[in-house]
Amino acid sequence: MSDNRNGLTAKLIDQLPKAELHLHIEGSLEPELMFALAQRNKIDIPFKNVEEVRAAYDFSNLQDFLDIYYQGMGVLLQQQDFYDLTIAYLKRAHADNVRHVEIFFDPQGHTDRGISFDTAIGGILRGLEQGEARLGISYRLIMCFLRHLDEASAFNTLEQAEPWIDQIAGIGLDSSELGHPPSKFARVFGAARAKGLKIVAHAGEEGPPDYVWEALDELKVDRIDHGNRALEDDELVQRIVNDGQTLTVCPLSNLKLCVIDTIDQSPVKRMLDMGIKATINSDDPAYFGGYVNDNFRAVAEALPLTPEQIVVLAKNSFTGSFLPEEEKAQRLEEIDSVAKQLS
């Protein structure tokens, strides 16, 4: 690509308004904050310094990462800790021109170690409200069920969410995918849908195309998280295109978790070429070495992506969001106007 086109791509990535649709707030816990919270809460962590923590972030697969991720969130005890975590992420996202976030949290990762549901969600929501007031970032909160736990635990979590239900936009499904198909949670997602909640699920990150079919047919998802392995099944790709499903792709996550061997294997360009509404997201940025613009830059260079594709990806992040249609339209106009100024 010419230097001019490269320059334009870099500017578009920096300056286009974006939404982030796949972000685990616990996965935005930077080692510096982990140490600060460990000290504040008088918790021992098995690392001497930040460099040692970063060196431990060398994963062969999803489970390798999850073991460290659940250990890391052990420093979150007080409502203030969840607030600090959320504000730190929003400040970082703001620097990338992220204007809207739909973030996940894992209540069972906290309640199972004795932290109340209210402590976790109370701190996160206070952070999100402050972020909207101070940084102008709109938000939706998505509560995830941990799929390695059982259906009863998910039902129990949904019950604990009841007093907060108006502040929860949707339900997601995350954690260890292999051996825990979406169908395991069909009934509890049915109950969530009956409450008017949006539905998303991690599917096809490590799991087979069948898990993506189940997410569509049994959970009736409004959006698919990752979805990489859907590309192995032509009929499934056609279904995703026909339904207009958005896929939240996470390139640096895929690389760090060995879903792909090199960044040029990211499926995001192929997805766009097939007519899939792909988006770019950071997943667990503190663990995978990059926030949303780092993810954009990595694939823009490696695949490469054209300036037009960068604009499409930014637009998809809003059209695939749970914002009302008028707000989506407003954001798309802003994208067109920034793109026009830059071109």
Residue positions annotated with a catalytic role? 205
Contact between 24 and ligand ADE per CB under 6 A: yes
Output the smallest distance, CB 147 to ligand ADE, in A: 8
Give the one entry of ligand ADE, Zn ion, none that residue 205 binds, where binding means its C-beta sits below a cut-off of 5 to 8 angstroms depending on kind: ligand ADE
Q: Which residue in the set 8, 62, 137, 247 belongs to the binding site for ligand ADE (CB under 6 A)?
A: 62
Q: Which residue in this structure is represented by tokens 């395991």?
A: 184
> Which CB, 22 or 277, lies closer to ligand ADE?
22
Contact string (CB under 6 A) for ligand ADE, positions 195-214, x = contact: -------x--x---------
The answer to whether the beta carbons of residues 139 and 131 sit under 8 Å apart is yes
Output the smallest distance, CB 102 to Zn ion, in A: 12
> Which CB, 98 or 252, lies closer to ligand ADE?
252
Q: Which residue in the set 283, 323, 328, 338 belongs to the binding site for Zn ion (CB under 5 A)?
A: 283
- Rounded to whole angstroms, how far apart are CA atoms 144 and 168? 11
Going by C-alpha positions, the residue among 215, 136, 132, 135 that lies closest to residue 173 is: 215
> Which CB, 256 or 277, lies closer to Zn ion?
256
Give the one entry of Zn ion, ligand ADE, none that residue 317 binds, where binding means its C-beta sits below a cut-off of 5 to 8 angstroms depending on kind: none
The answer to whether the beta carbons of residues 226 and 279 sit under 8 Å apart is no
> Which CB, 96 or 174, lies closer to ligand ADE?
174
User: What's the sign of the alpha-carbon dihedral 26, 28, 29, 31?
Assistant: positive
Output the smallest distance, CB 167 to ligand ADE, in A: 21
Contact between 174 and ligand ADE per CB under 6 A: yes
Structure tokens at 74: 């052990």
- Three-state secondary-structure class, residue 323: coil
The answer to whether the beta carbons of residues 140 and 102 sit under 8 Å apart is yes
- Rounded to whole angstroms, how far apart are CA atoms 173 and 19? 20
110: left (phi over 0), alpha (psi -120 to 50) or beta: alpha
Contact string (CB under 6 A) for ligand ADE, positions 248-277, x = contact: -----x------------------------
Output the smallest distance, CB 315 to ligand ADE, in A: 24
State how far Cα 255 lies from the chain centre: 15
- Rounded to whole angstroms, how far apart are CA atoms 100 and 103? 10
Residues at the interface with ligand ADE (CB under 6 A):
24, 27, 62, 69, 174-175, 202, 205, 253, 283-284
